């Protein structure tokens, strides 16, 4: 069985080092899960997350020209977020939002203009 980039497979942890874990994949190939790809949070001790002989689901990140296989546990768990349903808005809703925005914008501009004019003149005169 060939290992394809992007595929999710079940593998068995065969060895643990301080930089990651070696995982045997179907077909006898072995890949590496780097410590940064073990969990979403910072992993100080990989032994707290994995143990030799444990079966885990991994995602194949890359297969190098030299045959090295890069794996990820956290990306295997990721799911695509479901798109939020869009609320149908009527032209009246849009008009209200636009009107409110324009009013706020005009108010802000007049405030800035007033502040700027008060700074320019009147200093030093009594």
- DSSP string for residues in 11-51: EEEEEEETTEEEEEPTTS-EEEEEGGGS-SS--S-GGGT--
Residue 92: which pLDDT band, with cuts at 50, 70 and 90? confident
With 80 as the cut, is the pLDDT of residue 122 above it?
A: no
Token couple for 40: 């979403």
The residue ranking higher by pLDDT, 115 or 49, is 49
Q: How far is CA 109 from CA 46, 106, 122, in A?
A: 56, 5, 21
The residue ranking higher by pLDDT, 9 or 79, is 9
Instruction: Give tens-digit pLDDT for 21-46.
Output: 999 999 899 999 999 999 999 999 99
Q: Report the mean per-residue pLDDT for the chain.
A: 87
Burial class (CB in 10 A: 0-12, 13-18, 19+), 44: exposed
**pTM for the whole thing?**
0.60
């Amino acid at each position: 069985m060939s290992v394809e980039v992007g595929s999710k497979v079940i593998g068995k942890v065969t060895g643990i080092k301080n930089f990651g874990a070696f995982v045997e994949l179907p077909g006898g190939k072995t890949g590496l899960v780097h410590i940064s790809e073990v969990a979403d949070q910072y992993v100080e001790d990989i032994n707290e997350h994995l143990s030799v002989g444990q079966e885990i689901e991994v995602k194949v990140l890359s297969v190098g020209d030299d045959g090295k296989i890069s794996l990820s546990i956290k990306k295997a768990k990721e799911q695509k977020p479901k798109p939020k349903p869009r609320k149908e808005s009527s032209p009246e809703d849009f008009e209200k939002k636009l009107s409110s925005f324009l009013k706020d914008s005009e108010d802000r501009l007049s405030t800035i203009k007033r502040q700027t004019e008060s700074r320019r003149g009147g200093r030093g005169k009594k």
